[in-house]
């Protein structure tokens, strides 16, 4: 299992995991738009997260041109996403409190 430093290495890793945790699946362009970072940054994070087993590609069943796959969390990615979502929730509570 990758360590925390490897998870944080490409800057969009955590936002990609959290977004996929929230929405279930997305294609790369959706990640770019919703997260608001450059396409190359998302591409680097997606490649890295696939390599370490946090996300995977599944066939795309929509009608958007030039999209061939959905990105979804793997079982490991779901567990990491749960931890990150819990951390996000706790940080948000501390901010309010």
Walk along the chain (97 residues) and give the pLDDT tens digit of each residue: 677 887 788 889 999 999 999 999 999 999 999 999 999 999 999 999 999 999 999 999 888 888 999 999 999 999 999 999 999 999 988 877 6
Position 89 scores a pLDDT of 92
Position 95 scores a pLDDT of 79
Q: Is the dihedral of CA 73, 31, 5, 88 positive or negative?
A: negative
Q: Which domains, from first to last, does the chain contain? A: 4-96 (1.10.10.10)
Tokens of 65: 């041109």
d(CA 46, CA 39): 10
CB-based contact 60:27 (threshold 8 Å): yes
Position 6 scores a pLDDT of 79
Q: Give phi and psi for 64, each to the nearest 5.
A: -80, 125
Q: Tally Cβ neighbours within 10 Å of residue 73.
A: 21
Position 52 scores a pLDDT of 94
Reported in sequence order, the residue ranges of the chain that DSSP labels E, i.e. its strands, are: 55-59, 69-73
Position 93 scores a pLDDT of 87
């Amino acid at each position: 299992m990758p360590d925390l430093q490897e998870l944080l290495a490409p800057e969009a890793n955590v936002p990609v995991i959290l977004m996929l945790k929230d929405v279930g699946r997305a294609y790369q362009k959706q990640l770019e738009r919703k997260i608001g970072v450059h396409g190359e940054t998302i591409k680097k994070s997606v490649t890295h997260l696939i390599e370490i087993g946090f996300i995977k590609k599944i066939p795309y069943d929509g009608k958007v041109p030039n999209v061939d796959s959905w990105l979804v969390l793997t079982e490991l990615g779901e567990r990491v996403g749960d931890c990150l979502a819990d951390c996000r929730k706790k940080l948000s509570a501390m901010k309010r409190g």
